[in-house]
Amino acid sequence: MDMTFHDRSMCGHMGASHVGRQVVLAGWVDALRDHGEVLFIHLRDQSGIVQVVFSPECTEKSVCEQAGQLRNEFCVRITGRVVDRTPGTENPHIVTGDVEVNASDLTILSQSETPPFTISEKSMLAGAPVRQDQAVAEDLRLQYRYLDLRRPSMQRQLFKRHAIIRAIRNFLDEQGFIEVETPMLTRSTPEGARDYIVPSRHHPRSFYALPQSPQLFKQLLMVGGVERYYQIVRCFRDEDLRPNRQPEFTQLDLEAAFIDEEFVYRVFEELVARMFAVGGIDLPRPFVRMTWTDAMNTAGSDRPDLRFGMTFVDATDIFTDTNYAIFRQIMERGGCIKGINVKGQSGNLSKNILQNEYAKEIVPGFGARGMTWMRVADAGLESNIVQFFSETEQKRILERFGAETGDVILMIADASWHLVCTALGQLRLHLARRLELIPEGVYKPLWITNFPLFEATDTGVTSSHHPFTMPDQTDFDPTDTDALLDLKSRAYDLVINGEETGGGSIRINDRRLQDKIFQALDLTEEDVAEKFGFFLQALEYGAPPHGGMALGLDRITAMILSAPSIREVIAFPKNRSAFCPLTQAPAPVSREQLAELELLDIKDDAPLPGAGRQKDPVASLSWVSRIGIEDAEREEIRTAVAQAKTLAERVNREASQNTGESAEPLFSVLPASNRFRPGTTARISELSENKRLLENAPAVKGGYFKVASVLGQ
Amino acid sequence: MDSDLFTYQPASPLQASRQGALAGTQILVQPDLSVKDWLTDAGSRALAGFHAVMDATTVARAKTAGACLTGSTHMAELGLGINGNTMAGALSAGYGRVGLVTDLLGEARMSACLAGWYGFKPSYGLVSRFGLVGLVPSMECTGFIAPNPAEIAAALEAVAGPDENDFSMPAASPQPIGPVAASENGANRIGMPRQIREYLPASAIEAVDAALGRMAQAEFDAGFDIQETDLPGFDLFSAAHQVIASVEASSSCGKYDGVRYGCRAEDGRDWNEMYINSRSQAFGTQIKSFLFQGAYFQFENYTDFENACILRRKLVSRLDDLFEATPLLALPVRLPHAEPERAETIEETYTAFGLTLPANLAGLPALCIPAVARDGETDLGLQLIGPRLSDAQVLTAGQRIYTRIQGDGNK
């Protein structure tokens, strides 16, 4: 009797209730164990793994022989009978470990090459350790992503991601939101990052932009009377490379009319709680709310991590009349002094670590000039500068910081409040990580509110979020820079464990108010009309009050699933260099394609900013070959490059002359005949093992070459 | 240590064995050839303070053959040209009997010519480059300087041959050397490309003609048959060499990152700045100019490089045709007006080595014979060049000339 896929059972469902039944299974060979006469395989499909046995007792000889050809990742269909395992041979590593399938028939549906890395994650033997993720190079995984996705752990990520998105859709559907799609081919929106642009063939030399977010379209939907909109949407931003950033990413984008902040908080607290529940995480509610100013003052960040303490203590007033010269100068310049108490850590923070690592290296890296440290001993404060503090000052420090023996008090002082906060905030995080003060499995969501509406620039102000954000008051003078900088916005960010997971605002729906904002931003009417004239026109037709929010789905999913990077929760991500090893994108296109788009020989009369410098061939060569030039040698190098060009003209002329000789380039007079020497095996150099290779290095640390960081501070 | 001459001079000469073909022969090297624990900076800040962690294959083999290493002499930065090169001086001062000089433009032959010694660049692929710092992998070759071709042959014999550590070498290369017998005779045809005449002033042509004439004359008794031959596009060798060599140099200098060795700039907030600043300090202006030329071809006009390689094939095949008619080719070593030891720019350096670099481009063995072609006070040097792997024939011919000159002098 030939069974087909209609009767297929799933491997992961096999259990005691199937015992005695004939089943058809289909999937991939996860692992094999050959005992001569008897062959065991782990058969894997989307649901899980079950052990299949080929033995002369229950399998025909021809089937056993065919099974002998099986290798890892062959795709097969197997017919067999489910039986209980012999007591003592159960496998606790797999759900179906109490049963196995005695094969009676086998069809090899598709053979597999040897995979470039191990896909199996389950041991076939009870006592053997469960296989851990091997250290497979990520680019190799991404190049063979279709194999990587077969791994049960990757399958789980995709299933959970699906479940999280389904939870979103279910909830928003309950709340009366509808999902509306907005265009992918659009024009540049004012989000501030670079656009990915798409040339148009029908409108030569004009370009669409891929959306950085559907910001303007969702506001237009509000004007269009779609009162409750959401979308699971792909967004594109051509930003600088960061390890955990993707050029395209998925957002939950939401907007609603006739609402205020409380509506957004209510919807999103429930929504985010349901998303985390998919991962078995119960979020504490209601979410804490904190103004931006408070966040800066207590944790030095607009996305504070509240899973641990060490919040800031202000000590400015203690030192109003200090004799300590450094503090006094800072006080005279209107500065401030803040500190943290690292409770009970003086055993882990020696004088050497505090002075030579933190005060000299780490804290200056955060932008502060210095750090003051004090260890709290039984006899009082211990420090290299404590003798400069009066007894009153010392006593007030101990009181203010609630200091006890064994604590370490760290203070940063500077004329700039902002600098004190941000530097101390980074120090707080650095210490928490170093001292392992951040608890696992704890989630602290909070709303950050009342952001500054504007930030100062060299010439005036710029929007902190985007120019459509509603200010907290509307009767301001758009020409008074100081007053503008005091304005707060009706924007809010959702921060979880120190990560910004989403944000949004109540928007401006009044054309006159919007004009005032543009005036404050010093945008001319022409600029405004050119950039978003179509949108402003819509505001003139009875736009309702509205607001909304966007949530970064990749990041929040990675957090819910405790994935080490967002690439683990995206089926086909780009690598850290925004490159796709699987498809090799981005890639050059043919000249024909460019010609069709009329993109060959684009010449524009308007010079680009900085183009003059770019055109200096020596400057670009200096960059690509990573060789700096001293001023004194620039002229000689220019001459040499010019000479090289002349030389090349001669060479090109002669090489292209048809002299009847071979025109095959000769790279070496000796053919490279033996790059690969058969019979030799890779070995670790003796010079590496005895560390002699390190002897000539200008800087070595802990048995490694020491280099500058890849990204600057 | 005589620091005017030496980059490194061991407290006592380094001799691993007292037996072998080179037993007791004093050898001088340059600091681009690794001798374990010796300062090996190749004359560049890019390797400032670098002490070799193992011996180069040539060094190891010379030691096994009983040679005695007396020191390493100053060299031009990374071996491009001979400005600052003290090998000739150290040999003349009696510090060594044989000098090893990396030859990528003609440095070994030119140094020999200046010292009045014999200088030889072997066929490409005959001598291992493992342990050589190197600059232009497809052209450079360890060259030899000695008082006569027989001693060059002995040193070459000792160090040449396959090396599994040098991936550019064939697994089995012929062993063409063997003792070079002075008595060996036989009529050899030597060709001189007529195109050279456009290169040289009249006095130099006279000197070369006179030298070749002596070799042909019965009274000189060397029995060479001198013919004028045709090598069209002789000036293209230099252009092709420069394009290819600059690209290879740009590429092979990528390793000087200031991380594993060499100098590291103090400032540099990130990786890129660290590289740019360190490499700015690592290279002198001449080498830097060369690297920029290479970078220009490599990054901006790669077809120029490919075209130079096409040209290289054409020129190599023209030389092959030439050797069909005359098994040896004669050229002067230097131009009478050029001063290779003072060349400060790439252009000056390439001009000075215009007559030696064809052998590098084509990977041919070339011997510099001193004191036969004099233009007034200047010894122009006479090169004998043979087909690839005819090293033994070239050295044999040279030894015959050497013997006749010695005999001549004794008369």
**Any idea how long chain A is?**
713
Query: For chain A, what is the mean pLDDT?
Result: 91
Residues 6+ apart with CB under 8 A from B148: B118, B399, B402
Which residues of chain B have a CB within 8 Å of the CB of A672?
167-168
Q: Which CATH superfamily is domain B6-243+304-410 in?
A: Amidase signature (AS) domain (3.90.1300.10)
Domains of chain A, each with CATH number or no CATH: 5-110 (2.40.50.140), 138-281+544-601 (3.30.930.10), 308-438 (3.30.1360.30), 446-532 (no CATH)
As a whole number, mean pLDDT of residues A543-569 equals 96
Asked if the model's pLDDT at residue A254 lies above 50, the reply is: yes
Question: Which residues, numbered 131 to 150 in chain B, qualify as contacts with chain A under a Cβ-Cβ cut-off of 8 Å?
Answer: 137-138
Tens digits of residue pLDDT in A192-229: 788 999 999 998 888 999 999 999 999 999 999 999 99
As a whole number, mean pLDDT of residues B78-85 equals 95
Contact assignment for B124 to A670 by CB distance below 8 Å: yes
End-to-end CA, chain A: 70
- Looking at residue A613, what is its pLDDT? 46
Mutate to test the interface with A, among B123, B311, B350, B390 (most CBs of A within 10 A): B311
Given pLDDT bands bounded at 50, 70 and 90, which one contains residue A576? Answer: confident
Does the CB of B301 have a partner CB in chain A at under 8 Å?
yes
What percent of chain A is predicted at pLDDT more than 70? 94
Of the candidates A529, A219, A640, the residue with the CA atom closest to the CA atom of residue B344: A640
Given pLDDT bands bounded at 50, 70 and 90, which one contains residue B410? Answer: very low
Contact assignment for A677 to B171 by CB distance below 8 Å: yes
Contact assignment for A693 to B345 by CB distance below 8 Å: no
Tens digits of residue pLDDT in B285-299: 999 999 999 999 998
Does the CB of A687 have a partner CB in chain B at under 8 Å?
yes
Asked if the model's pLDDT at residue A233 lies above 90, the reply is: yes
What percent of chain B is predicted at pLDDT more than 70? 93
- Looking at residue A218, what is its pLDDT? 96
Residue with tokens 């720019």: B345
As a whole number, mean pLDDT of residues A375-387 equals 90
Sorted by where each begins, the domain ranges of chain B are 6-243+304-410
Please tell me which residue of chain A has the smallest CA distance to B293: A641
As a whole number, mean pLDDT of residues B187-193 equals 80
What percent of chain B is predicted at pLDDT more than 90? 62
Please tell me which residue of chain B has the smallest CA distance to A673: B170
Q: To 5 degrees, how large is the angle CA A662–CA A663–CA A669?
A: 75
Which residues of chain B have a CB within 8 Å of the CB of A643?
293, 346-347
Burial label, B143 (beta-carbon count in 10 A; 0-12, 13-18, 19+) = buried
As a whole number, mean pLDDT of residues B158-163 equals 90
As a whole number, mean pLDDT of residues B205-233 equals 78
pLDDT, greater one: A295 or B13: A295
Which residues of chain B have a CB within 8 Å of the CB of A667?
138, 309
If DSSP states are collapsed to H, E and C, what string results for A242-261? CCCCCCEEEEEEEEEECCCH
As a whole number, mean pLDDT of residues A10-18 equals 95
pTM given for the model: 0.61
Asked if the model's pLDDT at residue A636 lies above 60, the reply is: yes
Structure tokens, A466: 């985007």
As a whole number, mean pLDDT of residues A284-300 equals 96
Which residues of chain B have a CB within 8 Å of the CB of A652?
303-304, 307
- Looking at residue A713, what is its pLDDT? 44
Contact assignment for B260 to A664 by CB distance below 8 Å: no
Contact assignment for A627 to B270 by CB distance below 8 Å: no
Nearest-CA distance from B165 to chain A in Å?
10
Contact assignment for A644 to B293 by CB distance below 8 Å: yes
Does the CB of B288 have a partner CB in chain A at under 8 Å?
yes
Does the CB of B5 have a partner CB in chain A at under 8 Å?
no
Question: A87-101, A597-611, B119-133: which has the minimum mean pLDDT?
Answer: A597-611
Among the partner-chain residues A633, A650, A670, the one whose CB lies closest to the CB of B288 is A633
- Looking at residue A59, what is its pLDDT? 93
- The strand ranges marked E within B67-130 are 68-73, 98-103, 118-121
Tens digits of residue pLDDT in B11-53: 888 888 888 899 989 999 999 999 999 999 999 999 999 999 9
What residues does A377 pair with on adjacent strands? A380
Cis-peptide, bond into residue A665, ω within 30° of zero? no
Structure tokens, A48: 């899980």
Question: Which residues, numbered 337 to 366 in chain A, qualify as contacts with chain B under a Cβ-Cβ cut-off of 8 Å?
Answer: none
- Looking at residue A240, what is its pLDDT? 83
Asked if the model's pLDDT at residue A147 lies above 60, the reply is: yes
Asked if the model's pLDDT at residue B378 lies above 90, the reply is: no
Distance of alpha carbon A272 from alpha carbon A559, whole angstroms:
12
Mutate to test the interface with B, among A618, A621, A627 (most CBs of B within 10 A): A627
Mutate to test the interface with A, among B281, B292, B300 (most CBs of A within 10 A): B292
Question: Which residues, numbered 250 to 279 in chain B, qualify as contacts with chain A under a Cβ-Cβ cut-off of 8 Å?
Answer: 250, 258-264, 268-277, 279
Please tell me which residue of chain A has the smallest CA distance to B315: A661
- Looking at residue B403, what is its pLDDT? 85
Of the candidates A635, A665, A623, the residue with the CA atom closest to the CA atom of residue B296: A623
Give the HSE-up count for residue B269: Cα atoms under 13 Å, Cβ half-sphere: 5
Output the DSSP codes for A456-482: E-SSSEEESS-TTBPBS-S---TT-HH
Given pLDDT bands bounded at 50, 70 and 90, which one contains residue A466? Answer: confident
- Looking at residue A706, what is its pLDDT? 85
Given pLDDT bands bounded at 50, 70 and 90, which one contains residue B213? Answer: confident
Of the candidates A220, A217, A226, the residue with the CA atom closest to the CA atom of residue A257: A226
Asked if the model's pLDDT at residue B235 lies above 90, the reply is: no
Burial label, A114 (beta-carbon count in 10 A; 0-12, 13-18, 19+) = exposed
Please tell me which residue of chain B has the smallest CA distance to A710: B271
Asked if the model's pLDDT at residue B220 lies above 70, the reply is: no
pLDDT, greater one: B355 or B408: B355
Which residues of chain A have a CB within 8 Å of the CB of B258?
698
- Looking at residue B180, what is its pLDDT? 56
Question: A125-129, A325-329, B153-157, B333-337: which has the minimum mean pLDDT?
Answer: A125-129
As a whole number, mean pLDDT of residues B356-378 equals 92
- Determine contact, residues A342/A404, Cβ cutoff 8 Å: no
Asked if the model's pLDDT at residue A649 lies above 70, the reply is: yes
As a whole number, mean pLDDT of residues A433-444 equals 95
Given pLDDT bands bounded at 50, 70 and 90, which one contains residue A133? Answer: low
Contact assignment for A651 to B277 by CB distance below 8 Å: no
